[in-house]
Structure 1
Amino acid sequence: MAKNLRKDEAVLCAMQLIQKNGGEMHIRDIKAEMENSFPKNDYERGRLKSDGSLRWYNQLLFHSIRAYKSGFIQKNKGVWHLTPEGEQVMKLSLKEFSDALHKGYNKWLAKKKKAESTPQSIEEEDAVVETEIDYEQASNQAEEGFRSYIAALNPYEFQDLVAALFRGMGYYTPFVAPKGKDGGIDIIAYRDALGLEFPRVKVQVKHYPNNPVSADVVRQLRGTLSHEGESGVVVTSGSFTNDAKSEARSSHRAITLIDFSLFVSLWIEHYSKLSDEDKKRLPIAPIYFVKPTVG
């Protein structure tokens, strides 16, 4: 019981960090924060013989599945989101939190078994959980590969990468800012070769892999959208502050924010439509493995 309580404490710590971060947080950042803020004994700081991963981190991933199945958190491409139910359960004591975690998971498990014609054995259930962990770790590893590659680019290389993505999405990019002052616009994209069709898109590119883009950048872009039919896009190799997201939502001109995760998703989605030259800017290859079912 004490061991389970300890592991559930790690999940609670992760959820508290997510809450402090505005309700969402990448697992990479959760891990980095917990490296320092969550006390660990020698055993927990050790590594697994099977794959060399940190024992405490592996346990966090394993037990976070209970929080996910209970509806306390959501996971999307490495980003963990705190749900309203999760915010409520965090108000409980650690013992009550642990009980709610196990009760929620068992409720999901009972519902799942009821829907199955042949219920899974305990060993099969454990195998499913292990598959989910493997899938999450593989997804995170793939994302880190993208992150390292893109972070190593200089600002103009990243700008060219963004322009390539727009071309892959079917846009023409008659203007990509040369080195020097760009007047706040890095890329102009049209749907047709002459720029007669709407929308005409003005793109601001920020190569900030380690710092979130502020609301000021969104306001500056909005100030350049002076004609009807113009839309704005801010693309970053990192993330956006909550104020920046709010500023984009409330803008009277359409402004879309593309953070690192969305950029990677769009690159993968449109990769087959890129020219051979543009593919060389960020070459990728698909690797297929079994994805756990959600339910």
Structure 2
Amino acid sequence: MGEYDSAPGVMRYDRDVRIATIPAVKAGWINKTKTGQWSVTDKGRKALEKYSDPEEMGRDLRKIYNEWRRKHKKPKSPTPAVDEGISEQEVEHAAIALEEARESAWLEIQDYLHRLDPYDFQKLVAALLRGMGYHVDWVAPPGPDRGIDIIAHQDPLGVSGPRIKVQVKRQASRVDVKDMRGFIAVLGEGDIGVFVSIGGFTREAENEVRRLENRRVMLVDIERLVELWIEYYKTIPEEYRRLLPLIPVYFLDARD
């Protein structure tokens, strides 16, 4: 159960577990996020209730997986050598390698953002808004911000569209309903609020936003923030990309 000879540092047990979960993922019983979170779906819970015999469950799961593979199988190439070029095992290992790389990269990015200076994190959010095409009029200097960290508009003069007020929290804990109400209180009529929090938001805070009738508030957690940073990376001013420098990495696409 040690390391692979061909891949030092990769533990057999970890990879074997990942490979074993592939059928359950394709059957819709397990959901895996790119951030490394695995969870049993409603469909998976029903399967757990249905089967009392693990061997029977395994056999039926394999049938479901084989049916999935049959439906998603690529048509044969007119060149036989192409079809013989990659085995099912190689496909599985390529998929697992990509999964491991995504999780590892995410953990590094997450750790980096948690360690980033709070004011640099604030500048990062402002840079993202610029990359998205908004005009950032004001970024709060270090010190008390009275609930607002960034103000932006849709045009350079701020005469068209609503004003955007942003609160930025680089804290590990979730934003609670008290902080959310405090942010909502500083929004004027017609303002759009954007609350960015690395730690995410409590359910009560999210429900508070859903109940709003005369205010618009967008919630951005760390996962959504990174997604937007990647999406708009090329349009973010180059001098600000250093706040979260990223490079693309390419893997073999060995999917069916």
| The two structures share one fold, judged by TM-score above 0.5 | yes
Q: Deviations over 1:175-234 (max 9, x none)?
A: 2112222111111111112222223211111112x4333333333222222312x11111
Equivalents in 2 of 1:56, 1:194: separation in Å?
Answer: 59
| Equivalent residue in structure 1 for 2:113, among 150, 158, 169 | 150
Residue number in structure 2 paired with 1:215: 177
| Equivalent residue in structure 1 for 2:62, among 88, 95, 102 | 102
User: In 2, are the aligned partners of 1:222 and 1:251 still within 8 Å (CA)?
Assistant: no
Q: Kindly indicate whether residue 87 of structure 2 is the aligned counterpart of residue 124 of structure 1.
A: yes
Residue number in structure 1 paired with 2:32: 75
User: In 2, are the aligned partners of 1:187 and 1:202 still within 8 Å (CA)?
Assistant: yes
Equivalents in 2 of 1:99, 1:216: separation in Å?
Answer: 51
Distance 1:211 1:199, change over 3 A: same
Match for 1:216: what amino acid? K
User: In 2, are the aligned partners of 1:77 and 1:261 still within 8 Å (CA)?
Assistant: no
Q: Which has the higher contact order (CA 8 A, sep 6+)?
A: 2
Q: Shift in Å at residue 59 of structure 1?
A: 2.2
Q: Shift in Å at residue 168 of structure 1?
A: 0.9
| Equivalent residue in structure 2 for 1:242, among 203, 206, 225 | 203
Q: Match of 2:10, SS? A: coil
Q: Deviations over 1:91-132 (max 9, x none)?
A: 24361543443232122123234x6336977x7111111111
Equivalents in 2 of 1:81, 1:128: separation in Å?
Answer: 23
Distance 1:236 1:51, change over 3 A: farther
How many residues align structurally? Answer: 247
RMSD: 2.6
Equivalents in 2 of 1:149, 1:176: separation in Å?
Answer: 22
Q: Which runs of 5+ in 1 are unaligned?
A: 1-42
Q: Shift in Å at residue 238 of structure 1?
A: 3.3
- TM-score norm. by structure 1 comes to 0.74
Q: Match of 1:202, SS? A: strand
Distance 1:256 1:292, change over 3 A: farther
Q: Kindly indicate whether residue 20 of structure 2 is the aligned counterpart of residue 63 of structure 1.
A: yes
Residue number in structure 2 paired with 1:188: 151
Q: Shift in Å at residue 161 of structure 1?
A: 0.9
Q: Percent identity?
A: 38
User: In 2, are the aligned partners of 1:135 and 1:292 still within 8 Å (CA)?
Assistant: no
Distance 1:276 1:104, change over 3 A: same
| Equivalent residue in structure 2 for 1:179, among 142, 163, 179 | 142
Residue number in structure 2 paired with 1:141: 104
- TM-score norm. by structure 2 comes to 0.84
Q: Kindly indicate whether residue 165 of structure 2 is the aligned counterpart of residue 202 of structure 1.
A: yes
Equivalents in 1 of 2:155, 2:58: separation in Å?
Answer: 57
Equivalents in 2 of 1:72, 1:274: separation in Å?
Answer: 39
| Equivalent residue in structure 2 for 1:270, among 215, 232, 245 | 232
Match for 1:84: what amino acid? D
Q: Shift in Å at residue 69 of structure 1?
A: 0.6
Larger radius of gyration, structure 1 or 2? 2
Match for 2:18: what amino acid? L
Equivalents in 1 of 2:124, 2:196: separation in Å?
Answer: 11
